[in-house]
Copies of this chain bind each other. A is one copy, B any other.
Amino acid sequence: MIDKKNTSKTSISKVRSFRKKTLAIDSYIEGILKNDKATLGKAITLIESSINEHIEKAKTVIEKCLSKENNSIRIGITGVPGVGKSTFIEALGKNLTATGKKVAVLAVDPTSSVSKGSILGDKTRMQELAKDPNAFIRPSPSGETLGGVGRKTRETIILCEAAGYDIILIETVGVGQSETLVHSMVDFFLVLKLAGAGGELQGIKRGIIEMADALVINKADEDNIKQSKLAQIEFQRALHLYPPKINGWTPKVLLTSAIHKMGINEVWKMIKQYLTQTKQNGFFAENRKKQNEYWVLQTIDNQLKQEFYQNKSVKKMIANVLQEVHENKISPFNAAEKLLLLSKKELK
C-alpha cells in the first residue's frame, strides 16, 4: 500500500510529466493486479491520453485486464448539484469498506476538464474515503465528446475490476445524455433527489424514471423529514403508474441523510436484494451482455458518423445543402444522398 499523502502531493506533477514516459505493458499489468494504486492511476492516465502510441499501449493493457475473473458490482449514481452526491457516495463507500469491500469511485462529468483541477476536487469532496486504503477515487476524464468520456470511463472500469475492486460507483451530474451513458455501463442505477415543495415529478427529467432502479431522497433529516416522507409517497405512487421493468424489479424509494449516515445501510440492503433477484432470474448476466453489444454498436456508429462529418467535402458543403433543404429546393432524402455521394468522391 502506498502513502496516501504522498500520492496526493505528487499527482499533479505526475500528470504533467506523464507525456514524456509511460511504463512497460507488463509493469502496468503487474501493478494493477497487485492493486498498486499509483500504477492503476498511471494506467488510467494512459487510457485518457490521445497520443497514438499511448492509445495502442492502452488497448493491450485493457485486453490483458479483461480476462481477469471478478465479481464486481457497478452502480450508477446521479443527481443534480446540491443533492449531496459526494456525501452520499462517501457514506456508502465507507460503509462498504468497513465490511472489507474494496470500492472504486469514478465519475462521468461532461463539463470537466483537467485544467479545472478536478483531480484534487474529487479528493477534497470525499476526504474520508480518499484516505481509505480500500477505496480508489478517480475524477471524470475530460474529453471533447460525451461519447469519448463514456468510453474512457467504461475502460477504466475494466482496470479497476482487474485491480480487485468489488464495487464500482460511477457518479454523474445528469448533464445532457450523461445519465443514459452511465446507465448503459452499470448493473444498478440510483437517482438521488431532494424533497421539493410538491409536484415532485416535475423536476424529473425525461426517461429518468424508466432508468432508475431506486430513487433515494437525501437530506431527509431535521426540518426536512416530514416533507421527505411525503415526497417518498408521491414517488412511490408515480412509480406504480409505470409499466413493470423487464428485469422484474420494482424500483424502490428510500430516504437517507448521508451527512448523518442515516439510511445508508438500507440502501445497500436494497441493492443486495436487487442483485440476488436479477442474478437468479438471469437479468444480471443478460444485461451485461446487452451492454457490451451496445458499446460495440455505439462505437461503430460514432466512428462512422465522425468520419463522415469530418470528410472535407462534406464539411465544406453541408451548410449549403441544409440551406437548400430549408428553402424547399431539395428534399431531405436527396440532400442526404448528395452529401453521401460527396463523402465517397473524396475517398477515391
Chain A residues close to B by CB (< 8 Å):
59, 62-63, 66-67, 151, 154-155, 158, 199, 201-202, 206-207, 210, 238, 241-243, 289, 292-297, 299-301, 303-305, 308, 321-322, 325-326, 328-337, 339-340, 347
A294: chain B residues at CB < 8 Å are 332
Contact B299 A308 (CB under 8 A): no
From the candidates B289, B299, B325, name the one contacting A333 in the complex (CB within 8 A): B299
A238 and B289 alpha carbons, distance in the complex (Å): 35
Contact A301 B305 (CB under 8 A): yes
A158 and B308 alpha carbons, distance in the complex (Å): 28
Quick one: given A62-B331, A296-B325, A333-B151, are A206 and B210 in contact (CB under 8 Å)?
Answer: yes
A206: chain B residues at CB < 8 Å are 207, 210
Shortest CB distance A19–B (Å): 22
Nearest CB to that of A65 among chain B residues? B331
A-B CB proximity, top 8 nearest: A295-B332, A299-B336, A201-B241, A304-B304, A296-B332, A300-B336, A66-B328, A296-B335
Question: What are 7 A-B pairs at a CB distance below 8 A?
Answer: A63-B329, A67-B328, A155-B331, A292-B325, A296-B336, A299-B336, A304-B340
Q: A238-B241, A299-B336 are in contact. List 7 more A-B contacts (CB 8 A).
A: A63-B329, A67-B329, A202-B241, A295-B333, A299-B337, A303-B340, A347-B347
- Oligomeric state, in copies: 2
A59: chain B residues at CB < 8 Å are 331, 334
Shortest CB distance A2–B (Å): 27
Quick one: given A63-B330, A66-B328, are A201 and B336 in contact (CB under 8 Å)?
Answer: no
Contact A334 B63 (CB under 8 A): yes
A336 and B302 alpha carbons, distance in the complex (Å): 10
Shortest CB distance A151–B (Å): 6
A330 and B60 alpha carbons, distance in the complex (Å): 10
Contact A62 B201 (CB under 8 A): no
Quick one: given A66-B329, A199-B241, A331-B155, are A300 and B308 in contact (CB under 8 Å)?
Answer: yes
With a 10 A CB-CB cut-off, give which of A238, A305, A321, A328 has the most chain B CB atoms: A328
Quick one: given A202-B241, A241-B199, A241-B238, are A339 and B67 in contact (CB under 8 Å)?
Answer: no
Contact B326 A289 (CB under 8 A): yes
A343 and B112 alpha carbons, distance in the complex (Å): 34
With a 10 A CB-CB cut-off, give which of A294, A303, A332, A336 has the most chain B CB atoms: A332
Contact A293 B322 (CB under 8 A): yes
Nearest CB to that of A332 among chain B residues? B295
Shortest CB distance A60–B (Å): 10
With a 10 A CB-CB cut-off, give which of A308, A333, A340 has the most chain B CB atoms: A333
